Amino acid sequence: MNFVNPMVHESGPPSCILPAAPATPGIPTGFSAGKRAILLFLKRSPSSLVKVAGALGVSRAAAWKHLAELEGRGLVEREYQHGRRGRPFAVYFLSADSQRIFPEAYRQMSLSALDFLERRHGRRAVLEMLQERASELRTRHSRRLAGLDLVGRTRELARIRDEEGYMASAGRPTKGGQAILEHNCPIVAIAERYGEACDVERRLFGDLLDADVRVSHRVVAGDPVCRFWVRGRPGELGCR
């Protein structure tokens, strides 16, 4: 395996500064603080060696060592991009396998409960349970969205999802609509077994936002992010 030279210069400042990561829920305790911090940082967005090193506050050589070990364990992958000048540089991102460590225990418990329900009452009962959960979330979250226009509702829903562990953010509104990006999928194991969960989630977004919502990218399909595209319905003020 040919690792990128950690001394290759790349342009751009570090995007954020992360504190040293203590025991991070969901990530196996066998990972060092540096490796946990890198996994969480890459969960937000693919990044170059320079940005990873800057986020952790360590040298490029130290960051490269962590990345190489995570790559060797199949949790991190990379692709090469061409900058404005000089040789290509590596951009690191989380592999599909890494999704299973955010967090595994909760997913297994949820899957066991749904499997039990399906064995006893059939798959329709699982769908009804997912819809009932969506109904509860609709009631809970609608209070925070009341009185806002579509752009405001979209931004507030992204904040709610971020609080719930989806590492979500809202894109900039355009004439064509507005995106909600989710970099973490806590229900990916459920969605792999029960694909209906993704559609229930999409319809929940549509109901909460009173908008048309489509899904263009899904973590469960191997994409690095779930991307929901929000468009206003006729007569709605805000992004359309």
Domain boundaries in the chain? 33-101, 104-232
Classified by CATH at the fold level, domain 33-101 comes out as Arc Repressor Mutant, subunit A (1.10.10)
Q: How far apart are CA 68 and CA 1, in angstroms?
A: 10
pLDDT value at position 114?
A: 86
pLDDT value at position 142?
A: 96
What is the CATH code of the structural domain delimited by 104-232?
Answer: 3.30.1380.20
pLDDT value at position 103?
A: 60
pLDDT value at position 214?
A: 97
**Residue 35 phi/psi, 5° resolution?**
-70, -40
Q: Is the pLDDT of residue 110 over 50?
A: yes
Q: What percent of the chain has pLDDT over 70?
A: 80
Position 9 confidence tier, pLDDT thresholds 50, 70, 90? very low
pLDDT tens per residue across span 62-76: 999 999 999 998 889
Q: What mean pLDDT is predicted for residues 100-104?
A: 64
pLDDT tens per residue across span 17-49: 333 333 344 454 456 777 877 887 887 778 999
Distances from the Cα of 28 to the Cα of 15, 100, 187, angstroms: 26, 11, 18
Beta bridge partners of 79: 91
Torsion angle, alpha carbons of 105, 109, 115, 119, to 10: 140
Q: How far apart are CA 109 and CA 46, in angstroms?
A: 30
pTM summary value: 0.61
Q: How far apart are CA 178 and CA 213, in angstroms?
A: 10
Q: What does DSSP assign to residue 219?
A: G
pLDDT tens per residue across span 111-147: 888 888 898 889 999 999 899 989 999 999 999 999 9
pLDDT value at position 223?
A: 87
pLDDT tens per residue across span 199-239: 999 999 999 999 999 999 998 888 888 999 999 987 654 54
pLDDT tens per residue across span 89-101: 899 998 877 766 6
